[in-house]
Structure 1
Amino acid sequence: MPIWKRNLIVCWFGMFVTGVGMSQIAPILPLFIKELGADHAESVAQLSGIAFGVTFIISAIFSPIWGKAADKYGRKPMLLRASLGMALVVGCMGFAHNVYVLIGLRLLQGVITGYSTACTTLIATQTDQEHSGFALGTLSTANIAGSLLGPTVGGFIGESLGLRYSFFLTGALLFIAFLATVLFVKENFVRGHQKTPNFKEVWNAVPEKELTVTLFVTFFVLSVALYSVEPIITVYITQISGHAGHVALLAGITFSASGLANIVAAPKLGKLSDKIGAHKVIFTALIAAGIVFIPQAFVKNAWQLMGLRFLFGLAAAGLIPSVNILIKKITPGALTGRMFGFNMSAGYLGVFGGAVLGGQVAAWFGIRDVFFITSVLLLLNGVWVYFRVYRNPILQGAGLSQKTNETERF
C-alpha cells in the first residue's frame, strides 16, 4: 500500500475520533453539569454555554501556533502530541467532581488541539498532485462526520451506560489513534535550520493574500451553516412533530444526516475537483447549499427535515476539500501548516459563531428565520466566491507556479 494511503487511513480515523471527542459533549453537557451540582436551570444553561464554547475559542487561538510548529518540527510529532494529550484530557473529564474542573479541562482540550491541522498538512504535503483532491476530500469527511455524529454518540452512550462513560470511551479511542500514528504514519520531513519568521513575514510571503482570505471566510461561513441549527433542532422537531416522544433520537438522526452525506459525497467531489477544478466545485456547492437551506424552514415533519439535511450535507461535502485543495495550490510548501492552522481557526470560530447565531436568531425572531439567515450567508458567500475565486485567472494556472516557486525559498 502506498505511504500516502496508509497515512490517509490513520489520519481519517484520528480526525473522526477527534471530531467525536470535540462534539459528543453537546447533548450530555447540561445533564452532566446538573449532575455535578448546578441546581438551577439558569446556571445549567450559562455554565453549559461556557463549557461548550471555551474549547472552540481557545482552539481558534492555538491552531495557527500548532500549524507553525508542524512546519518547523514535522507533522507526525504534532499528531502524537495532540492525540495523546486529548486522550488524557478527555478521559479525565469523566472523573471531574465539579463543574469548574470540567470547564478547566475543556479549556485545556482547546489548548492541546491541533490534530486536524497536522493531519490536513501531512496529507496535503505527502500526497502527489494526482491524488490530492481525492485524499483531501476523503480526509474532510472524517472531522465533519465525527463532529456531526458526535452528539448522537454522546447521547446514546450517556443514556445507555452513564454520562461519564462518554468521556472514557472517547479517551480510549483517541489513545488508539495515538498508537496507530506511532506505528503506521510515515513522514518525509527535513527540519530546516533557518530563523522562524514572525506573522508579518509569513503573511508577506503569501502570494495570493486576497484569495487566501476569501477561502478562510468561506470555511468560516460553512462552519456557521453546519452548526447554526444545533441550538434549535430539538425544539424545532418538537414543534413540527407535535409531540415529545423520541425527540432526542430524531434530533440526533437529523443532525447526523449531514455527516452521513459528507461521508458519501466528499471523496467523489474531491475527485471531481481534480478533474474540473476546485474553484468550480466550491462555487456550485455554495449556491446549492444556500438553496437547500430555504425549504428547511417549511417542513411539516422530522423526516422531511432529515431528507433536506442530507441534501445539504451532499452540497457541503464539496466545500471543505475544495477549500483545502485551493489553499494547498496557492500556498508555498514552507507555509502550508500555518495556512491550514489559520483556516482551522476560522472553522472553530465558525462552530462557535454558528451556535451563537442559531440561538440568538431563534430567540429574537423565530426558529424558521435561522434557516433563512443561514441561506443568505451562504448565497452571499457564493457571490463573493464567484468574483474572487471562480473567475480568478490565477486558478486557471496563469502565473501561479512561478509565484509559488519564488516564495518556496522563504
Structure 2
Amino acid sequence: MKLWKRNLIVCWFGMFVTSIGMSQLAPVLPLFIKDLGVHDPGLIAQFSGIAFGVTFIISAIFSPIWGLAADKFGRKPMLLRASLGMAIIIGCTGFAQNVYELIGLRLLLGVIAGYTTACTTLIATQTDKEHVGRALGTLSTASIAGSLLGPMIGGFIEENFGLQNVFFITGALLLIAFFATALFVKESFTREDKKVLSAKEIWRTLPNKNIIITLFTTFFVITLALYTIEPIITVYISHLSHDTTHVALLAGLAFSASGLANIIAAPILGKTSDKIGAHKVILVALIVAGIIFIPQAFVSNTWQLIGLRFLLGLVAAGLSPSVNILVKRLTPDSLTGRVFGFNMAAGYLGAFGGSILGGQIAGWFGIQYVFLVTSGLLLINAVWVYFKVYKKLNHSK
C-alpha cells in the first residue's frame, strides 16, 4: 500500500473519532448535567450551552497555535499529542463530580484539540500532487461525518450503556487512534530552524491574501450552515412526525443521512476537483446547497426532510475539501500548518456560531426561518466566491 494511502486511512479514523468526541455530548449533555445535581430547567439549558460551546471557542483560539507547532516540530507529534490528550480528558469527563468540573474538562478539551489541523496538514503536504484533491476529499468526510453522527452515537451509547460510558467508550476509541497513529503514520519532515513568523508577518508573506480571506470566510459559513440545524432538528421532527415515540431515532436518521451522503460523495468530488479545479466545484456546491436548504423549510413529513438532508450531504461533500485544496495550493509548504490552523479556527467559530444562531432564529421567528436564513448565507457566499475566487483563479489558469 502506498504511504499516502496508509496515512490517509489512519488519519481518517482518528479524525472521525475526534469529531465524535467533540460533538457526541450534544444530546446527553442536559441529562449528564441533571445527573450532576442541577435540576432547574433554566440552569440546565444555560450550563449545556456553556459546556458545549466553550470547547469550540477555545479550539478556535488554540488551533493556530497548534498549526505553528506542526510547522515547527512536525505533524505526527501533533497527532500523538492531540489523540492521547483527548483520550485522557474525555475519559476523565465520565468521573466529573459537578457541573463546574464538566465545564473545566470541556475547556481543556478545546485547548488540547488539534488533531484535525495536523491531519489535514499532513495529508496535504505528504500526498502526491495528482492525488491531493481525492485525499483531502476523503479526509473531510471523517470530520463532517463524525460531527453529524456524533450526537446520534452519543445518544445510542447513553441509552444502551449508560451516561458515563459515553465518555469511556469515546476515550477508548481515541486511545486506539493514538496507537494506530504511533505505529502506522509515517511523515517525511525536515525541521527548518527559521525565525517564527507572527500572524502579521505571515499575512505579508502570503500571496493572494484576498482569496485566502474569502476561503476562511467560506469555511466559517459552511460550518455555520451545518450547525444551525443541529439544535432544532429534533424539535422540527417532533412537529413533522405523528409518531412521537421515535423522534430521537428519526432525528438520528436525519443526521446520519447527511453524514452517509458525505462519505459517498466526497472522494468523487475530490477527484473532480483534481480534474476541473476546486474553484469550480466549490462555486457550484455553494449554489446547490443554498437551494437545497429552501425546500427543507416546507416539507410535510420526516422522510422528505431526511431525503433532502441526504441530497445536502452529497453537495456539501464538495465544500470543505475544495476550501482545503485551494488553501494548500495558495500557501507555501513552510506555512501550511499555520494557515490550516487559522482555517480550522474559522470552522470552530462557525460551529459555535451556528449552534447559537439556529436556536435564536427558531426561537424568535420559527424553525422554517432557520433553513431560509442559512440558504441566504450560502447563496450570498456563493456570489462572493464567484467574484473573489472563481473569476481570479479561472483567469489565472
Fold conserved (TM > 0.5)? Answer: yes
* Deviation (angstroms), 1:242: 3.4
- Map Cα deviations across residues 387-410 of structure 1 (whole Å, 9 max, x no partner): 1111114x5555xxxxxxxxxxxx
Q: 1: distance between equivalents of 2:29 and 2:341?
A: 28
Q: 1: distance between equivalents of 2:159 and 2:193?
A: 52
Q: 2: distance between equivalents of 1:367 and 1:75?
A: 42
Name structure 1 gaps, 5 residues minimum.
399-410
- Map Cα deviations across residues 312-357 of structure 1 (whole Å, 9 max, x no partner): 1111100011000000001111110011000101110001111111
- Map Cα deviations across residues 335-392 of structure 1 (whole Å, 9 max, x no partner): 1001100010111000111111100000110010000000000000011111111111
* Deviation (angstroms), 1:245: 1.6
* Deviation (angstroms), 1:243: 4.2
Normalised to the residue count of structure 2, the TM-score between the two structures is: 0.99
- Give 3-state SS (helix, strand or coil) of 1:191's partner: coil
State the number of aligned residues. Answer: 397
- Whether 2:296 is the aligned partner of 1:265: answer no
Q: 1: distance between equivalents of 2:66 and 2:122?
A: 13
Partner of 2:356: 356
Name structure 2 gaps, 5 residues minimum.
none
- Give 3-state SS (helix, strand or coil) of 1:230's partner: coil
Which residues of 2 match residues 331-410 of structure 1 at below 5 A? 331-393=331-393, 397=396
Identity value in percent: 71
* Deviation (angstroms), 1:10: 0.5
- Give 3-state SS (helix, strand or coil) of 2:189's partner: coil
- Map Cα deviations across residues 195-226 of structure 1 (whole Å, 9 max, x no partner): 11111111110101100000001111010110
Q: 2: distance between equivalents of 1:154 and 1:320?
A: 24
Q: Which amino acid aligns with 2:268?
A: K
Partner of 2:316: 316
Which residues of 2 match residues 202-217 of structure 1 at below 5 A? 202-217=202-217
* Deviation (angstroms), 1:257: 1.2
Q: Which amino acid aligns with 1:294?
A: I
Partner of 1:330: 330
Worse overlay, 384-393 or 39-48: 384-393
- Give 3-state SS (helix, strand or coil) of 1:27's partner: coil
Q: 2: distance between equivalents of 1:21 and 1:385?
A: 32
- Whether 2:46 is the aligned partner of 1:46: answer yes
Partner of 1:85: 85
Which residues of 2 match residues 10-409 of structure 1 at below 5 A? 10-393=10-393, 397=396
Normalised to the residue count of structure 1, the TM-score between the two structures is: 0.96
* Deviation (angstroms), 1:127: 0.5
Q: 2: distance between equivalents of 1:289 and 1:266?
A: 14
Q: Which amino acid aligns with 2:371?
A: F
Q: 2: distance between equivalents of 1:193 and 1:226?
A: 40
* Deviation (angstroms), 1:194: 1.3
- Map Cα deviations across residues 144-166 of structure 1 (whole Å, 9 max, x no partner): 10110001100000010101101
* Deviation (angstroms), 1:97: 1.1
Q: 2: distance between equivalents of 1:109 and 1:204?
A: 32
- Map Cα deviations across residues 95-124 of structure 1 (whole Å, 9 max, x no partner): 111111111000000000100000000000
Q: 2: distance between equivalents of 1:236 and 1:181?
A: 40
- Map Cα deviations across residues 252-308 of structure 1 (whole Å, 9 max, x no partner): 111221111110000000000000000000000000000000000011111110000
Partner of 1:406: none
RMSD value, Cα: 0.8
Q: Which amino acid aligns with 1:358?
A: G
Q: Which amino acid aligns with 2:151?
A: P
Q: 2: distance between equivalents of 1:147 and 1:340?
A: 19
